[in-house]
Structure 1
Amino acid sequence: MKKLVRERSYNYESLTRHASEHQVPVLRILFGARLKFTLNTPWINALNMHGVIIENAQGFCEIANPIYARILTDYWKPLESDLQASILINSHDLRQHIIGDQLEMDELLSQFRQFVERRGREAFKVTPMPQEATGQYLLMAYLDLLVRQIGGDLFTEIDSGEGRMDLIVVYRGHRYVVETKMWYGQAKFDQGVEQLEGYLETEGASIGYLVVFHARPNVYGKLTWEQLEFVIEREKSNIQVYFVRLGE
């Protein structure tokens, strides 16, 4: 057992050390940036040699496995996210969004989006984190503080290959599936909707939540207020969508 613990400790330290040497691109990969895999690029070659990243089927960089993705996500969680999330939690009465034994998750996510509109984007401008990471870290911190206050649980599932993070809130026997993605165009958005729809079917759920972080309006176009929150109705499920603008 001691040998196993030492080996795990060594692997953890080796992973975080090598990844930290190229933190910004690794974070971008972790949260969905599509970076072309080529061993002629020194940092890609180094990370691949140390087993941090691999080439996926589409020829892009991907974190080597889900365990590594979870370790790196937790390792780099910025204190700024906890600070901003606590400001939001403490400035809003969450009890009004608890109806019986259920959460008004739609209202809680709407409050999150509005908070980022008012304050969050300024915070993102001063953090050293790439924008692919900051929004999802802030939402994770917000939901984590929420469930700790009300006595629920939060589970995280990461798919770095798809740039997707699923946050599952469990409260009094009810499960709320919140999928997060970066905006990389309409095709990737539609793919995210289909992924969430399939996930809801496996969970036996009829309502899901998709939070999309829109970080580069100059590239992808500006969003109007009417495009920020809406519902996609499907045959077996409804998906409530929230676009969170991280850039001007």
Structure 2
Amino acid sequence: MLMSRSTLFDDINKNLDLYPDLNEMLHHILLGGKSYPFSLADNTIQIGTMFGYLKEEDYKVAITNRIFETYLYDLFYLNETKNSRLADAAAVERNQFISGHYLDMDKVLERFQAYYTSYYGEKDWGFLEEDGRFLFLTFLKPIINGTGHYYVDAGTRDQRRTDIIVDYHGKQYIIELKIWHGEEYQAKGRKRLCDYLDSYEQNKGWLVGFCFNKAKEKKTGIKKINEAGKIITEVVI
């Protein structure tokens, strides 16, 4: 469905142009992990529900289905990365991340860390949580485009963490993105990721922590950890 032209998707484009507040709300939900209480008294929520993009779930606003979620992710990606150096670098180096039907996620994260540090590491952006997530998806998309796809687990999408599941040639890769708040918090993240890997019957996962401390206080790097019988590649950027 997502690879074909349809009036449904054309209408999404037009409606988001017509209703910028709805566009902004969807952007914050998907990329920022922001939570909104569901109330039809809110005009933006009312419009989103009328179009069928939004629904109520546990008294909060949620995207109606995964088809809409994925289309909106792709739409935001295309609108904001047309001149992205990260996307361009990933597209140029795509072949080095692929071996047969195997996606080398360790290499993907290694190169993402290098480019992120080179392009953004010394800038005081005052990052919000959504910036790191979006930059990672910006780098990932050209690598898996046409062969694999990704989706964000709505149950883990909040302002502290996001779990991304990548499907590539029938194999799943589970990556947790989070803001780095110190080693104790990182250890809790590893435990949580192990539990999540169990639910997907996976033995390997990736934990990416975005550290926004001042440069001299940063402790970035990549290491492998054996946690509860799981192999976790941990990347601090």
Residue of 202, 217, 225 corresponding to 2:218: 225
Corresponding residue for residue 211 of structure 1: 208
Q: How many residues align?
A: 222
- For 1:19 and 1:212, locate their aligned partners in 2 and report how far apart those are by CA, in whole Å: 32
In the alignment, is the contact (CA less than 8 A) between 1:37 and 1:44 conserved in 2?
Answer: no
Kindly state the Cα deviation for residue 198 of structure 1 after the two structures are TM-superposed. Answer: 4.2
Are 1:136 and 2:158 matched, yes or no?
Answer: no
Alignment of 1:95-134 (within 5 A): 95=96, 105-120=105-120, 132-134=129-131
Q: CA separation of 1:32/1:179 partners in 2, compared to 1, >3 Å: closer, same or farther?
A: farther
Partner SS state of residue 226, structure 1:
coil
Kindly state the Cα deviation for residue 207 of structure 1 after the two structures are TM-superposed. Answer: 1.7
- For 1:167 and 1:195, locate their aligned partners in 2 and report how far apart those are by CA, in whole Å: 15
Query: AA paired with 2:206?
Result: Y
Are 1:156 and 2:150 matched, yes or no?
Answer: yes
Kindly state the Cα deviation for residue 205 of structure 1 after the two structures are TM-superposed. Answer: 3.4
Kindly state the Cα deviation for residue 56 of structure 1 after the two structures are TM-superposed. Answer: 3.0
In the alignment, is the contact (CA less than 8 A) between 1:36 and 1:60 conserved in 2?
Answer: yes
Q: CA separation of 1:179/1:98 partners in 2, compared to 1, >3 Å: closer, same or farther?
A: closer
- For 2:114 and 2:103, locate their aligned partners in 1 and report how far apart those are by CA, in whole Å: 18
Partner SS state of residue 78, structure 1:
helix
In the alignment, is the contact (CA less than 8 A) between 1:19 and 1:52 conserved in 2?
Answer: no
- For 2:210 and 2:132, locate their aligned partners in 1 and report how far apart those are by CA, in whole Å: 7
- For 2:186 and 2:46, locate their aligned partners in 1 and report how far apart those are by CA, in whole Å: 30
In the alignment, is the contact (CA less than 8 A) between 2:149 and 2:167 conserved in 1?
Answer: yes
In the alignment, is the contact (CA less than 8 A) between 1:19 and 1:47 conserved in 2?
Answer: no
In the alignment, is the contact (CA less than 8 A) between 1:206 and 1:237 conserved in 2?
Answer: yes
Q: CA separation of 1:236/1:48 partners in 2, compared to 1, >3 Å: closer, same or farther?
A: same
In the alignment, is the contact (CA less than 8 A) between 1:51 and 1:64 conserved in 2?
Answer: yes
Residue of 168, 173, 177 corresponding to 2:173: 177
Counting aligned pairs with the same residue, the percent is 18
Query: AA paired with 2:227?
Result: R
- For 1:231 and 1:208, locate their aligned partners in 2 and report how far apart those are by CA, in whole Å: 10
- Point out where structure 1 has 5 or more consecutive residues left out of the alignment: none
- For 1:122 and 1:79, locate their aligned partners in 2 and report how far apart those are by CA, in whole Å: 25
Corresponding residue for residue 33 of structure 1: 33
Corresponding residue for residue 9 of structure 1: 7
Corresponding residue for residue 166 of structure 2: 168
In the alignment, is the contact (CA less than 8 A) between 1:157 and 1:166 conserved in 2?
Answer: yes
Kindly state the Cα deviation for residue 235 of structure 1 after the two structures are TM-superposed. Answer: 1.6
Corresponding residue for residue 56 of structure 1: 57
Q: CA separation of 1:89/1:38 partners in 2, compared to 1, >3 Å: closer, same or farther?
A: closer
Q: CA separation of 1:66/1:192 partners in 2, compared to 1, >3 Å: closer, same or farther?
A: farther
Are 1:234 and 2:235 matched, yes or no?
Answer: no
Q: CA separation of 1:13/1:145 partners in 2, compared to 1, >3 Å: closer, same or farther?
A: closer
- For 1:162 and 1:85, locate their aligned partners in 2 and report how far apart those are by CA, in whole Å: 25
TM-score under structure 1 length normalisation = 0.64
Query: AA paired with 1:33?
Result: G
- Point out where structure 2 has 5 or more consecutive residues left out of the alignment: none
In the alignment, is the contact (CA less than 8 A) between 1:166 and 1:179 conserved in 2?
Answer: yes
Kindly state the Cα deviation for residue 211 of structure 1 after the two structures are TM-superposed. Answer: 2.6
Kindly state the Cα deviation for residue 69 of structure 1 after the two structures are TM-superposed. Answer: 0.6
- For 2:70 and 2:109, locate their aligned partners in 1 and report how far apart those are by CA, in whole Å: 23
Q: CA separation of 1:65/1:98 partners in 2, compared to 1, >3 Å: closer, same or farther?
A: closer
Moved more, 44-53 or 20-29: 44-53
- For 1:211 and 1:88, locate their aligned partners in 2 and report how far apart those are by CA, in whole Å: 20
Kindly state the Cα deviation for residue 156 of structure 1 after the two structures are TM-superposed. Answer: 0.8
TM-score under structure 2 length normalisation = 0.66
**Bigger relative CO (Cα 8 Å, ≥ 6 apart):** 1
Query: AA paired with 2:56?
Result: E
In the alignment, is the contact (CA less than 8 A) between 2:180 and 2:209 conserved in 1?
Answer: no
